[in-house]
């Protein structure tokens, strides 16, 4: 069914026609979009992406996301919120509240600062990036950005609520010790295709994509509706997703796929 053109290249137009005429009917995709952490703190607040190494602007995801929600009918729409208690272990100013593990590169809590990586005494014994205080439950910084379209039939997923473990992914915490309710919901609704977008590309979006792939979902990163923290991380994330057979598309391509 995949005809190559005279240059031996798969023709995207032919593929799209073929996909819509036949493949989609066979696959019968059931779609969910997960709009990840489009919260004030990542756009204008304490962890504003425009101040991060890649100097990207988190606000730039809002317009493409709204356009997509206007033009595409997803079967389910989810919004995730990073939702930390004040004593969360990811806040640099909370390092003194816990013991550092013997294998932590930083051993003196007074030396640990934002953007450093430490290991706290486990379990689990995992690396923890230290961040400025962000997305504290029930604060302005944790609210979804005012310009983001929030559909009435959508559902919010809160993560990072346990003070003792971080959760970049909207599906599992960083130690893979617990899952959010989204895991059950995707399965309950018979979702086949998980679209991801939002903030931040190299952390919460990337980890969510990896977990969605590991659960067997066709996973689609909407690239122009996603912004990140550091370019190296962004590139590594995209490469890793592609290696695990994710699909990377632009906002305007999504309507043809759903
Ligand atoms: C995130 C850093 C810390 C994210 C959350 O949403 O990508 N990044 N917490
Ligand atoms: Zn966080």
pLDDT of residue 1: 46
Percent of the chain with pLDDT over 90: 89
Indicate if ligand 1 lies below 6 Å from the C-beta of 173. no
Q: Residues 37, 173, 193, 224: which is the catalytic one?
A: 37
* Residue 116: pLDDT band with limits 50, 70, 90: very high
pLDDT of residue 18: 87
159 is catalytic: yes
55 is catalytic: no
pTM higher than 0.95, yes or no? no
Mean per-residue pLDDT for 192-201? 98
- Cα 39 to Cα 65: distance, rounded to the nearest angstrom: 13
- Cα 100 to Cα 244: distance, rounded to the nearest angstrom: 33
Q: What ipTM was reported for this prediction?
A: 0.98
Closest-approaching ligand to the CA atom of 42? 1
Distance 189 CA to ligand 2 centre (A): 28
* DSSP 8-state assignment for residue 182: H
Q: How many C-alpha atoms does 216 have within 13 Å on its Cβ side? A: 5
How would you write the chain as a 3-class SS string? CCCECCCCCECHHHHHHHHHHHHHHHHCCCEEEEEECCEHHHHCCCCCHHHCCCCCCHHHHHHHHHHHHHHCCCCEEEEEEECECCCCCCEHHHHHHCCECCCCCCCCHHHCCCCCEEEECCCCCCEEECECCCCECCCHHHCECCCCCCCCCCEEEEECCCCCCCCCCCCECCCCCCECHHHHHHHHCCCCEEEEEEECHHHHHHHHHHHHHHCCCEEEEEEEEEECCCHHHHHHHHHHHHHCCCEEECHHHHHHHC
pLDDT of residue 11: 73
Q: What is the pLDDT of residues 234-245, one digit of tens each?
A: 999 999 999 999
Distance 127 CA to ligand 1 centre (A): 14
Sign of the dihedral through C-alpha 232, 123, 214, 73: negative
Distance 3 CA to ligand 2 centre (A): 46
Of 2-16, 24-38, 146-160, 183-197, the range with the lowest mean pLDDT is: 2-16
Q: What is the pLDDT of residues 197-215, one digit of tens each?
A: 999 999 999 999 999 999 9
Ligand 1 atom with least separation from CA of 90: 3
- Cα 122 to Cα 29: distance, rounded to the nearest angstrom: 41
**b/e map of 114-130 (b: 16 or more CB within 10 Å)?**
eebebbbeeeeeeebbb
76 is catalytic: no
Tokens found for residue 174: 């960083």
How many helical (H) and strand (E) elements, i.e. helices and strands, does the chain have? Answer: 8, 8
Mean per-residue pLDDT for 92-97? 97
Report the greatest alpha carbon distance in the chain.
65
Mean per-residue pLDDT for 213-232? 98
């Amino acid at each position: 069914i995949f005809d190559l053109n005279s240059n031996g290249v798969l023709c995207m137009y032919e593929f799209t026609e073929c996909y819509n005429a036949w493949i989609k009917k066979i696959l019968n995709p059931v779609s969910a979009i997960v709009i990840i952490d489009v919260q004030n703190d990542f756009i204008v607040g304490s962890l504003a992406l425009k101040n991060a190494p890649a100097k990207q602007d988190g606000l730039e995801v809002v317009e493409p996301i709204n356009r997509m929600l206007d033009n595409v009918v997803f079967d389910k729409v989810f919004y995730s919120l990073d939702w930390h208690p004040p004593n969360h272990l990811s806040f640099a100013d909370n390092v003194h509240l816990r013991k550092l593990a013997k294998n932590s590169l930083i051993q003196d809590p007074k030396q640990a600062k934002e953007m450093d990586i430490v290991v706290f005494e486990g379990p689990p014994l995992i690396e923890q990036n230290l961040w400025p205080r962000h997305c504290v439950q029930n604060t302005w910084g944790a609210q979804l950005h005012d310009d983001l379209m929030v559909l009435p039939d959508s559902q919010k997923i809160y993560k990072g609520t346990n003070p003792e473990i971080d959760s970049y992914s909207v599906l599992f915490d960083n130690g893979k010790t617990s899952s959010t309710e989204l895991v059950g919901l995707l399965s309950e609704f018979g979702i086949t295709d998980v679209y991801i977008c939002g903030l931040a590309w190299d952390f919460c979006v990337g980890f969510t994509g990896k977990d969605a792939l590991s659960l067997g979902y066709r996973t689609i990163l909407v690239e122009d509706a996603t912004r990140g923290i550091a370019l190296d991380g962004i590139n590594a994330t995209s490469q890793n997703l592609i290696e695990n057979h994710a699909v990377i598309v632009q906002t305007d391509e999504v309507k043809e796929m759903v």
